[in-house]
A and B are shown apart, each in its own frame.
Chain A
Amino acid sequence: MIKNKKILVLLSLVLVFSLFVVGCGKTEDTPGTDQPADKAPEVRDTLIVGQGADAKILDPHATNDQPSSRVMKQIYETLITQNEQMELEPGLAVSWEKVDDLTFEFKLRQGVKFHNGEEFKASDVKFTLLRAVESPTIGHIVGAIDPESIEIIDDYTIRISTKNPFAPLLAHLAHGASSMLNEKAVAEGGDDYGQNPVGTGPFKLYEWKSGDSIELVRFEDFHGAQPKIERIIMRNIPEGTNRAIELETGAIDIAFDIAPTDVNRIDENKELTLVRDPNLSTAYIGFNAAKKPYDDVRVRQAINYAIDMDSIIEAVYLGIGEPAIGPLGANVWASHRGLTPYGFDVDKAKELMKEAGLEDGFKTTIWTNENQQRMDIAEIVQNQLKAINIETEVKVLEWGSYLDGTAAGEHDMFILGWTTVTGDPDYGLYPLFHSEQYGSAGNRTFWSTPRSDELLTLGRTTADPEKRKEYYMEAQEIIRDEAPWVFTWNGENVSGTRNNVRGFMQHPAGHHKLFTVYFE
Chain B
Amino acid sequence: MHKYILRRLLLLIPVMLGVAFIVFTMMYFTPGDPAAIMLGEAASEHDVERLREEMGLDRPFIVQFSTYIKNLVVHQDIGRSYQSKKPVVTAILERFPTTLKLAALGVLVAVLLGIPTGIISATKQYSIFDSASMVAALLGVSMPNFWQGLMSIIVFSVWLGWLPSSGFSTPMHMILPALTIGTSSAAIITRMTRSSMLEVIRQDYIRTARAKGQKEFIVITRHALKNALIPVLTVVGLQFGYLLGGAVLTETIFSIPGVGRLMVDAIKQRDFPIVQGGVLFLAITFSFMNLLIDILYAFVDPRIKSQYK
Binds A, one of B9-17, B36-44, B127-135: B36-44
Chain A proximity mask over B161-190: 1 for CB below 8 Å, otherwise 0: 100111111100100000000000000000
Instruction: Determine the chain A residues whose CB is within 8 A of the CB of B80 once the complex forms.
Output: 191
Instruction: Determine the chain B residues whose CB is within 8 A of the CB of A402 once the complex forms.
Output: 32
B281: shortest Cβ distance to chain A, in Å? 14
Contact partner of A136 (CB less than 8 A), chosen from B47, B101, B299, is B47
Given A28-B169, A137-B51, answer yes or no on A398-B32 (Cβ-Cβ < 8 Å): yes
Summarize B's interface: helix, strand, loop or mixed.
helix
Chain B proximity mask over A11-28: 1 for CB below 8 Å, otherwise 0: 011001100110011001
Question: Is there an interface contact between A6 and B167, defined as CB atoms closer than 8 Å?
Answer: no
Instruction: Determine the chain A residues whose CB is within 8 A of the CB of B209 once the complex forms.
Output: none
Question: Is there an interface contact between B33 and A403, defined as CB atoms closer than 8 Å?
Answer: yes
Instruction: Determine the chain A residues whose CB is within 8 A of the CB of B300 once the complex forms.
Output: 9
In the bound complex, CA of A137 to CA of B54 (Å)? 11
B81: shortest Cβ distance to chain A, in Å? 9
Question: Is there an interface contact between A25 and B97, defined as CB atoms closer than 8 Å?
Answer: yes
In the bound complex, CA of A232 to CA of B118 (Å)? 48
- Residue B95, interface by CB 8 Å: yes
- Residue B158, interface by CB 8 Å: yes
Contact partner of B32 (CB less than 8 A), chosen from A33, A195, A404, is A404
Question: Is there an interface contact between A440 and B48, defined as CB atoms closer than 8 Å?
Answer: yes
B227: shortest Cβ distance to chain A, in Å? 11
In the bound complex, CA of A508 to CA of B128 (Å)? 63
Given A432-B42, A441-B45, answer yes or no on A242-B166 (Cβ-Cβ < 8 Å): yes
- Residue A139, interface by CB 8 Å: yes
Question: Is there an interface contact between A194 and B84, defined as CB atoms closer than 8 Å?
Answer: yes
A228: shortest Cβ distance to chain B, in Å? 26
Within 8 A of A (CB), among B26-63: 30-48, 50-51, 54
In the bound complex, CA of A29 to CA of B45 (Å)? 47
Closest to B54 in A: A136
Instruction: Determine the chain B residues whose CB is within 8 A of the CB of A210 once the complex forms.
Output: 84, 86, 91, 94-95, 257, 262
Binds B, one of A51-59, A83-91, A355-363: A51-59
Chain B proximity mask over A339-380: 1 for CB below 8 Å, otherwise 0: 000000000000000000000000000000010000000000
Closest to A246 in B: B166
Given A33-B167, A242-B165, answer yes or no on A140-B97 (Cβ-Cβ < 8 Å): no
Contact partner of B299 (CB less than 8 A), chosen from A8, A235, A249, A398, is A8
Question: Is there an interface contact between B226 and A9, defined as CB atoms closer than 8 Å?
Answer: yes
Closest to A210 in B: B94
Closest to B91 in A: A210
Question: Is there an interface contact between A416 and B41, defined as CB atoms closer than 8 Å?
Answer: yes
Closest to B254 in A: A242
- Most A CB within 10 A of own CB, among B255, B296, B299: B255
Given A194-B85, A211-B261, answer yes or no on A238-B255 (Cβ-Cβ < 8 Å): yes
- Residue B83, interface by CB 8 Å: yes
- Residue B152, interface by CB 8 Å: no
In the bound complex, CA of A390 to CA of B47 (Å)? 38
Question: Is there an interface contact between B42 and A431, defined as CB atoms closer than 8 Å?
Answer: yes
In the bound complex, CA of A370 to CA of B37 (Å)? 14
Chain A proximity mask over B249-263: 1 for CB below 8 Å, otherwise 0: 000111101100110
- Residue B194, interface by CB 8 Å: no
Question: Is there an interface contact between B32 and A400, defined as CB atoms closer than 8 Å?
Answer: yes
Instruction: Determine the chain A residues whose CB is within 8 A of the CB of B97 once the complex forms.
Output: 24-25
Question: Is there an interface contact between A20 and B255, defined as CB atoms closer than 8 Å?
Answer: no
- Residue A437, interface by CB 8 Å: yes
In the bound complex, CA of A242 to CA of B153 (Å)? 9
- Residue A62, interface by CB 8 Å: yes
Instruction: Determine the chain B residues whose CB is within 8 A of the CB of A56 once the complex forms.
Output: 83-84
Given A238-B255, A431-B42, answer yes or no on A20-B100 (Cβ-Cβ < 8 Å): yes
Question: Is there an interface contact between A30 and B169, defined as CB atoms closer than 8 Å?
Answer: yes
B26: shortest Cβ distance to chain A, in Å? 14
Instruction: Determine the chain B residues whose CB is within 8 A of the CB of A140 once the complex forms.
Output: 42-44, 47
Chain B proximity mask over A24-52: 1 for CB below 8 Å, otherwise 0: 11001110011000000000000000000
Interface residue ranges, A against B (CB under 8 Å): 6, 8-9, 12-13, 16-17, 20-21, 24-25, 28-30, 33-34, 54, 56-57, 59, 62-65, 136-137, 139-140, 143, 191-195, 209-212, 235-239, 241-243, 245-246, 249, 251, 370, 398-405, 407, 416, 418, 431-432, 437, 439-442, 444
Interface residue ranges, B against A (CB under 8 Å): 30-48, 50-51, 54, 80, 83-87, 91, 94-98, 100-101, 103-105, 107-108, 111, 153, 157-158, 161, 164-170, 173, 222, 226, 229, 252-255, 257-258, 261-262, 268-270, 296, 299-300
When A and B form their complex, which 4 residue pairs have the shortest distance between CB atoms, in order from nearest? A400-B32, A211-B257, A442-B42, A25-B97
Known: A29-B169, A440-B48. 17 other contacts (CB 8 A): A6-B222, A25-B97, A25-B100, A25-B101, A28-B169, A136-B39, A191-B87, A194-B86, A195-B85, A242-B166, A242-B254, A245-B153, A399-B32, A404-B36, A437-B44, A440-B39, A442-B42
In the complex, 20 of the A-B residue pairs with CB atoms within 8 angstroms, ordered by the A residue number, are A12-B299, A20-B100, A24-B97, A24-B101, A33-B169, A136-B48, A137-B38, A194-B86, A210-B262, A211-B94, A212-B98, A212-B257, A238-B252, A242-B153, A245-B164, A401-B32, A404-B36, A405-B31, A437-B44, A440-B48
